[in-house]
Each structure stands twice: as structure tokens, then as C-alpha cells.
Structure 1
Amino acid sequence: MKKFFLKLKFCVLACAVVLGSAHAQTSATAPIRILVGAPAGGTTDTMARTLAQAMGQQLGRVVVVENKPGAGGNLAADMVAKAAPDGNTLLMSFTSHAINASLYPSLPFDPIKDFTPLTMVSTSPSVLVAHPSLPVKNVADLVKLAKEKPGQLNFAIGALGSSLHLAGDSFKMKAGVFIVNIPYRGTAPAVQDVLAGQVELMFAAVGNAQAHIKAGKLRALGVTSPKRLPAFPDVQAIGETLPGYESSAWFGLFAPGRMNPDLAKRLSDAARVAIQTPDVKRRIESEGAIPAGNSPQEFSKFVEAEIVRWRSVVQYSGAKPE
């Protein structure tokens, strides 16, 4: 009988080893999911899909993108925060990851502790545009006019609490002017009303405004990047007139918190190599964005600083979740 139980124990242990090995193999070969807290077709979705294939080639794995829009990106973020830190579930997030920390009274996750930042994928400066009928040529002209006519000029806002909304409020804080926000349900109708002259001003993504600027339907007054952009060499950086002003959207790759540092480095390295491949760089730049690819440590410090930076702007704006 004793020999029987010894044999049984050996069989159980052997089965456990085989099953454990099979599970590890399944986990290592299963598709990596990148969750996106925005609908398909938007810039965040495009960034994720641009990165997925090239990153998968680096890892020798299939990488798929799943859209989980809702609550300003918080739905997807919550799913990743609660996922196992095994490298199979990642998050492509954007500036709202930092903004939401102040915009929402409470979140079901900690935007710092519950995530492992892997790398910044890209940054996306915006451009301050005006309808051509507005008698201003640059930022200095706009500040002068806004001070002469407080509350008589308007900013079109594609989404309350978005990076573009807060770019405008940062501008007003720096310039000391009062310009009224006109909220819209989406960027497209906001752009259309500025094109039609119904609203005078807007902060727009470069990709959304570039064709209209070249066609003379919108006038570019300034860009939100620290320096002038190659796409608009004659358009000043707003910081040239308002020192210290900068407001770029960013897109970054996160993993669940408590991830093994070696695994985090492997995922980060794969993403960073993918970002620098010519095809990926070209596609990122076609969206009016600038490829990045910093280290996990650099990205972590950046996210923490962004949460602090946006807090005062959110408080100034009085923005509430939609």
C-alpha cells in the first residue's frame, strides 16, 4: 500500500509539472492584447495598430488591438490595472491618463501604482488656428485682441477635459485672457464650425488642421510644441510669445503594475525598437505626431510629472467628466 501511495504521489507531481509547463507555453504563445480606451479609427487606435505588428515581430508573438472605449479611457485602463502582470495584456493610453487623475473625483485604479509604464510611443503637438476673418496674424495679436474684447472671442472644444480643451485653458492662464469655450460632441463638428466662421478659434491636432491651413481655410497662429514644427516653419511656437507655454498630447504603452522588471524591460525594448523602424516612424509622422521611445524609468517620471502639471489646469478649467 505504501508503494502505491508513493507511485500515486509521483504521478500527481509529474502531472503538475506537465500541466504547469503547458500553461507557461500557452501563456508565452498566446496573443498579446493591447487595449485602447478609444474607438477604432482615432489617433490612439492608429498608434496602437501601427505599433502592434512591428512589436510582435520583435517578440515573435502575435499582438492584437482591442478597442474598449468608455469613461475617457478609464474603462480600458481599469481592465489592464486588474489584469495579471504576465505581459499578455497591455494598454495604449494617452494624455487623459494624466488628466483623468484630476478630472474624475474617484477612479477604480491608481494611475501610478497600478501600472508599469513601458515607453512613450509619440507626442502630438497641436496648432492654434483661427478663422481667416479674425483680424489677427499671430499669438501676440490674439492676446492683444482678447484683452481688448474680454469674453467676446470663442474657442471650439471637441471634448471637455481633453488635452486640446486644456491646451486652450493653459493658454488663457498664461496670457491672462478670457476667451469663452464652446463645447462640441467631437472634433469633427468643432472643426466644421470654425471653418464656417461660427466660432473664431480652436486648438486642433496637426493632422486635423494641416490640409485646411494649406488651403487657406484656417490661419495657424502658433504651435504648442517647445519649438517650431517642420510642417509649419513660419508658424511660431506659442512659447515664443508666452514663455514656458507647452501643451502636447502624448501616447504611451503601459502594462499592469507589479510586473517583473526583466519582463517589463523585454516588452519596452521590443516597443522601442519597433517605434524606430522606418515604416512605423513614417506612419506616426503621417498622423502629425513625433516618434518617441523613452525608457520605462524616463516614461514613469514623465507620467508622474504630467499628473501634477495638469492638476492646476483642470482646477482652473472647472471641467467635469461628460
Structure 2
Amino acid sequence: MTVTRCSIRARADSCLPPILQKNAGYDPLASYDPIVLVAQSSNLMVVHPSLPVNSVQELVAYAKANPGKVNFSSGGIGVLPHLIGEWFKSAASIDIVHVPYRGGGPSINDLLAGQVQMTFEGTSVLLPLIRSGTLRALATTSATRIAELPNLPTMIESGFPGFVSTSWTGLLAPARTPGEVIDRLNTQMNEGLRSAELESALAKLSNQPLGGTPHDFTQLIKSDIGKWAPIVKGLGLKPD
């Protein structure tokens, strides 16, 4: 009997450290054999209610009229919300200022206090704050609108073609795992991901089940590396 040890890795775990660190200890493509994408969740753009904007385009116009006066927070240099914010800054050709914190909690706390004006963060974190009116959502970074906020436009609908960034979770095996093992695990996982019970459990975490082939997963990893590496380079963030 062959026993294969697999690991679950979110995108920030598997793609960003090798871009940001010289000695991350692994290569997201060479060190693992992708099995299947398990689930994904969206990131949302939110602003403090004191900011006089109700759409992404209004935010862009406000930032252009007030260069350097809009701050966006994140949980640190090189984390996903930071990179999404820098991507938006470049795509919109606006001057907004990144304010890094030591973790996502302090970042959100200062946004709630009005010390910073905007951020990008995961749906599960922001949804209660949006529904309570504490923060105002302007867009989702998913390719399509999300079920939790069906009236919230995507970044694509807001005038930014191709602006898609989701947080995914996937199952990987150690590199050079036999192909028949990968295929069997992929089949079993896809069957499980079609269950209503799992879909319901994931929905409670603002996640949607994915599935697909190992090739699909590999292409997504390559796409994310291709997306974030130029942004990291453009920021001058050199591997530690």
C-alpha cells in the first residue's frame, strides 16, 4: 500500500513567500504536485464611511483630486491586501499611501477608527462589518459577484478589466508522487466537493467549492506567480 502525505496550502502560503524570500524552503511548482483546487473566497475593497465615495470610480476621482491623502492599510509589507492595493494604485494611476500593520487585526481596527481610509481584505472578515454599516464595500475582486453581497459590483464591472484576485485553498502532494495516486485523489476530492453538505460548510466561511483537474490547479499557480512577481519587483521588494 502506498501512503501519500498531502498538504493544504492557501495561495498566500504557496505563491508569495518564494517571491519575497530568497530561502522560502520550497518552490510552489517544483516542490509539489497539485491535486485539486478545493475552494476560493473573494477579497473586498472597503472604505471608512467618512470617505465621501460610494463606488470605485468615485474613489478614483477623489484620490486624484486629493493625491497622497488616501491611506490604505494591510497586515504588513508583502501580504496579499498590500499587493492588491498596490495593483489598484497602479491600475488607477492614483497616489494612495500604504500603511502596513503587524497583522490584519490592527489594520482593520485602525480602519474602523478612521485612522486609514481603505483596505482590501477577505469576505469572511469584512462581511459582518459591512452588514452593520461600520464599513462601506465598493467592490469585490472576484470574477463575478458574490452571493453574500449580490448588489456589490466586481472590480471588472467598476472599470478595471482583469482585476481578479481570489484567495484559494488547494490540495497538493509532494513532488514526484505517482500519477495514479494524484488521479485517484483528484477523483475522490471532486466527488466530495459536489456534496451539498460540504458546499454548505464552505459557504459559512464565505468560500465556494471549486474542484477541477491537476492541470487547472497548476495553471492557477503559474498565473498567480505571473501576476504578483512583477508587482513585487515594481515595488522594489527584494527577497530577504
Taking structure 1 as the reference length, what is the TM-score of the superposition? 0.70
C-alpha distance 112-269 of structure 1, shift in aligned 2 (>3 A): same
Contact 1:169 1:316 in 2 (8 A): no
Q: Which residue of 1 aligns with 2:44?
A: 127
C-alpha distance 320-275 of structure 1, shift in aligned 2 (>3 A): farther
Q: Which residue of 2 aligns with 1:306?
A: 224
The answer on 1:92 being equivalent to 2:8 is yes
Moved over 6 A (4+): none
Contact 2:47 2:118 in 1 (8 A): yes
- State the identity %: 32
Tell me the distance in 1 between the aligned counterparts of 2:133 and 2:238. Answer: 35
Contact 1:95 1:163 in 2 (8 A): no
Q: Which residue of 2 aligns with 1:284?
A: 202
1:238 alignment partner, SS class: coil
Tell me the distance in 2 between the aligned counterparts of 1:261 and 1:270. Answer: 14
Tell me the distance in 2 between the aligned counterparts of 1:148 and 1:101. Answer: 38
Specify which of 134, 156, 161 is matched with residue 243 of structure 1: 161
The offset of 1:125, in angstroms, is: 0.9
The offset of 1:160, in angstroms, is: 2.6
Tell me the distance in 2 between the aligned counterparts of 1:169 and 1:251. Answer: 23
List runs of 5+ in structure 1 lacking aligned partners: 1-23, 29-85
Aligned pair count reads: 238
C-alpha distance 253-128 of structure 1, shift in aligned 2 (>3 A): same
1:221 alignment partner, SS class: strand
Deviates most, 297-306 or 126-135: 297-306
Contact 1:99 1:314 in 2 (8 A): no
Specify which of 87, 92, 105 is matched with residue 170 of structure 1: 87
Point out the structure with the larger helix share.
1
Q: Deviations over 1:74-96 (max 9, x none)?
A: xxxxxxxxxxxx41x21111112
Q: Which residue of 2 aligns with 1:40?
A: none
Q: Deviations over 1:10-34 (max 9, x none)?
A: xxxxxxxxxxxxxx4xxx5xxxxxx
The offset of 1:305, in angstroms, is: 2.1
State the AA in 1 paired with 2:118: L
Q: Which residue of 1 aligns with 2:144?
A: 227
The offset of 1:165, in angstroms, is: 1.8
2:223 alignment partner, SS class: helix
Q: How does 1:237-276 map to 2 (within 5 A)?
A: 237-240=154-157, 241-276=159-194
2:86 alignment partner, SS class: helix
The offset of 1:109, in angstroms, is: 2.5
Specify which of 29, 32, 35 is matched with residue 112 of structure 1: 29
Tell me the distance in 2 between the aligned counterparts of 1:122 and 1:321. Answer: 29
Tell me the distance in 2 between the aligned counterparts of 1:211 and 1:115. Answer: 36
Contact 1:166 1:317 in 2 (8 A): no
2:6 alignment partner, SS class: strand
Q: Which has the higher contact order (CA 8 A, sep 6+)?
A: 2
Contact 2:22 2:239 in 1 (8 A): no
Q: How does 1:4-43 map to 2 (within 5 A)?
A: 24=1
Contact 2:19 2:239 in 1 (8 A): no
Structure 1 vs Structure 2 CA RMSD:
1.7
2:98 alignment partner, SS class: strand
